[in-house]
């Protein structure tokens, strides 16, 4: 999971104008790291913003890392979107609208500014340092991302599809219905026994990798065969958001799991330590870790299961760890160049989840 704050922001980004086509093409959308169609509500909000420009005879300006609207149209747009939000009848509609607006503003504010692969400003692009690897076909990561982390420069979940590809590590944004439906269709096809969420759920039993795979492979002779032949895929959900946002994200997953399977979502715990990114970004405590580091820890623990030792998981761990180091170096260099501190701010050890 990610933890970010205003203290951890890399620096003020230059203002960017809303320019170019008001339509988000499939090619543009998928270049940011997804294989889904363009979300309908995102397209609708982009069109509304362009209409506001025409009505006002002014140009919308974006600034900051979150694609925040600035300038003379900020107040007008803020009133319009708040009125729209208040007019929605139920909480589900509000979640979808909130998420779509966050994504739309980030897309427009990042055009021609961020690299579409690594989400860093183009002058700081780190793509050449990423080592792509073929993932084991028997597993798939789902980076379940909060919309406020979409296109965030210090987000680490993006490293997974940079390294393994969008079919092995898929982006699913909280509240973007097209993403969530694609993800849950895959989960329903796989069956509950093959879907696991990496989350410290205190309200239910949490299993370790050794609990699940070592015990199951010794008692069920069909499981090693399944893993060897790749007839089934193990799906692992990584909740990619701040620790304070993760509770709502996990609750949404649980509600859907109960609707689909009439049971809670199965959770898995890891023996994790602080990641390289912990040097730059604050976390609630030293035992918390970022999304990519959690994925590396999962791969590390999976490769210790004898039945999985031949799938090259150790090399995949190394690729993710190298990616994290490259991201840290790129972010650190940018901060130093702009005269920003790279010292981690001390935070109280508090239990958020």
- Mean pLDDT (the chain) is 84
197 SS3 class: strand
In the Cβ-directed half-sphere of 4, how many Cα atoms lie within 13 Å?
A: 18
346 φ/ψ angles, rounded to the nearest 5 degrees: -75, 130
Strand-pair partners of 235? 140, 195
Residue 273: name the closest of 249, 290, 254, 251 by CA.
290
pLDDT at 203: 67
In the structure, what pLDDT confidence band is assigned to residue 308 with cuts at 50, 70 and 90?
confident
Buried b (16+ CB within 10 A) or exposed e, 140-153: bbbbbbbbbbbbbb
Burial class (CB in 10 A: 0-12, 13-18, 19+), 107: buried
Q: What is the pLDDT of residues 56-107, one digit of tens each?
A: 998 888 887 667 888 889 999 999 999 999 999 999 999 999 999 999 999 9
Query: H-helix or E-strand containing 206?
Result: strand 206-208
Q: What is the mean pLDDT of residues 236-248?
A: 93
Distance between CA 89 and CA 234 in Å, rounded? 37
119 Rama class: left (phi>0) / alpha (psi -120 to 50) / beta: left
Q: What is the pLDDT of residues 176-217, one digit of tens each?
A: 999 999 999 999 999 999 999 998 766 666 788 877 775 554
- This prediction has a pTM of 0.87
Q: 278 and 5 in contact (C-beta within 8 Å)? A: no
For the chain, how many helices (H) and strands (E)?
12, 9
């Amino acid at each position: 999971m990610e933890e970010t704050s205003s203290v951890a922001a890399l620096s003020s980004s230059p203002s960017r104008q809303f320019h170019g086509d008001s339509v988000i093409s499939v090619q543009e959308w998928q270049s940011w790291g997804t294989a889904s169609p363009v979300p309908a509500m995102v397209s609708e909000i982009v069109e509304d913003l362009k209409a506001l420009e025409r009505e006002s005879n002014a140009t919308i300006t974006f600034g900051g890392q979150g694609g925040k609207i600035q300038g003379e149209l900020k107040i007008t747009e803020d009133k319009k979107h708040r009125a729209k939000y208040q007019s929605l009848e139920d909480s589900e509609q509000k979640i979808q609208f909130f998420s779509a607006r966050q994504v739309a503003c980030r897309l427009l504010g990042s055009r021609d500014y961020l690299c579409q692969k690594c989400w860093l400003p183009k002058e700081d692009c780190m793509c050449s340092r990423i080592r792509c690897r073929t993932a084991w076909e028997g597993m798939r990561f789902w980076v379940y991302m909060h919309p406020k982390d979409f296109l965030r420069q210090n987000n680490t979940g993006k490293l997974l599809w940079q390294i393994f590809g969008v079919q092995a590590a898929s982006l699913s944004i909280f509240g973007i219905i097209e993403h969530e439906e694609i993800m849950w269709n895959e989960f329903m096809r796989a069956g509950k026994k093959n879907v696991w969420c990496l989350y410290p759920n205190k309200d239910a039993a949490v299993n370790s990798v050794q609990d699940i795979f070592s015990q199951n492979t010794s008692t069920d002779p069909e499981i090693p065969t399944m893993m060897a032949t790749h007839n089934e895929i193990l799906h692992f959900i990584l909740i990619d958001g701040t620790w304070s946002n993760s509770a709502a994200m996990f609750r949404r997953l649980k509600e859907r799991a109960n609707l689909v399977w009439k049971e809670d979502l199965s959770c898995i715990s890891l023996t994790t330590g602080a990641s390289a990114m912990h040097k730059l970004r604050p976390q609630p405590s030293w035992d918390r870790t970022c999304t990519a580091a959690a994925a590396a820890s999962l791969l590390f623990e999976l490769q210790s299961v004898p039945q999985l030792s031949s799938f090259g998981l150790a090399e995949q761990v190394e690729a993710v760890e190298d990616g994290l180091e490259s991201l840290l170096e790129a972010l650190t260099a940018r901060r130093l160049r702009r005269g920003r501190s790279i010292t981690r701010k001390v935070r109280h050890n508090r239990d958020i989840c």
